[in-house]
């Protein structure tokens, strides 16, 4: 069932920007009030990478639009984001260091996708200007930091998956989420959590964009594991991968429910 919905979401990458909201009630009859279905745009390097994010958002009750550089590089931003109420920046390849004023480290093993960088930067700008809710995951959190003027550590040993018996396995570490984080009430609590780690880039306070607030840290090395924008209502980033639901505490699924609910509110406000 989830795979079927995922295939439908990928098929909807060719969407109709002129579509209008449907009038409906609980019985499906035409009524005066609008039915505000939450459309969440998910950026991704490709269809395979988008699968987990699509499934978890649709399980939360959102309609999904997947944005990929191969399909949408030449599409105008306002068309890509038509009727969208929330943005999810997914994990994926490394961000081009030239975007934060550095040359690529030849020893960092970087996998770059500048077309994805450009696509995400413009839809993120669109969302931030309108105070649209944003959830940024792994690469997404790193892109959020770069978009606000921050930098990245190009290679971090010991934080990416390990190959065990021929299979790639996630590594894990403990993070601390501050009580003052907007993410804390969304998740359900603050404190210490054991989460997955699948990244080889990241940031510490020296790389953090000054306009962003650190809300979670890796307890051993002090890596920033959570970022939020005090300038916006709901812009939340995490370095871990909560879409891999069997590798993080169950409470982290509330992040996707929270994005869906915020997207509904955003759509409703613009529709009235």
What are the residue numbers of the active site?
138, 241, 243
Contact 197, 159 (CB under 8 A): yes
Measured CA to CA, the distance from residue 158 to residue 168 in angstroms comes to 14
Q: Please, what is the Cα angle at 7 between 267 and 70, to 5 degrees? A: 80
Running DSSP on this structure, what letter comes out for residue 83?
Answer: T
Measured CA to CA, the distance from residue 161 to residue 96 in angstroms comes to 21
Residue 218: phi and psi, rounded to 5, are -80, 130
Residue-level length of the chain? 272
Contact 60, 38 (CB under 8 A): no
Q: Which two tokens stand for residue 127?
A: 């969302």
Measured CA to CA, the distance from residue 252 to residue 242 in angstroms comes to 6
Spatial CB neighbours of 134, under 8 Å, sequence gap ≥ 6: 86, 87, 88, 89, 124, 127, 128, 144, 232, 234, 235, 236
Contact 162, 169 (CB under 8 A): yes
Helix, strand, or coil (residue 174): strand
Measured CA to CA, the distance from residue 31 to residue 75 in angstroms comes to 34
């Amino acid at each position: 069932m989830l795979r079927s919905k995922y295939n439908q979401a990928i098929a909807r990458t060719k969407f109709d920007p002129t579509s209008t909201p449907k009038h409906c009630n609980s019985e499906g009859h035409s009524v005066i009030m609008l039915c505000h279905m939450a459309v969440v745009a998910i950026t991704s390097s490709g269809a395979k990478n988008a699968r987990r994010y699509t499934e978890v958002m649709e399980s939360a009750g959102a309609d999904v639009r997947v944005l990929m550089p191969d399909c949408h590089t030449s599409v105008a931003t306002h068309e890509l984001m038509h009727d969208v109420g929330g943005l999810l920046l997914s994990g994926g390849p490394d961000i081009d260091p030239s975007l934060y004023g550095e040359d690529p480290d030849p020893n960092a093993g970087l996998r770059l996708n500048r077309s994805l960088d450009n696509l995400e930067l413009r839809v993120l700008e669109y969302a931030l200007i309108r105070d649209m809710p944003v959830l940024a995951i792994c690469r997404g959190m790193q892109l959020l930091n770069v978009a606000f003027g921050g930098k990245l550590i190009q290679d971090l040993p010991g934080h990416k998956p390990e190959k065990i018996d021929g299979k790639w396995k996630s590594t894990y570490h403990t993070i601390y989420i501050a009580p003052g984080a907007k993410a804390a009430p969304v998740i359900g609590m603050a404190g210490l959590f054991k989460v997955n780690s699948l990244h080889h880039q990241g940031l510490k306070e020296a790389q953090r964009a000054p306009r962003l607030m650190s809300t979670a840290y890796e307890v051993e090395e002090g890596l920033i594991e959570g970022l939020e924008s005090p300038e916006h209502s709901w812009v939340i980033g995490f370095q871990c991968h909560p879409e891999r639901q069997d590798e993080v505490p169950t409470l982290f699924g509330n992040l996707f429910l929270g994005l869906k609910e915020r997207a509904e509110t955003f759509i409703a406000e613009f529709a009235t």
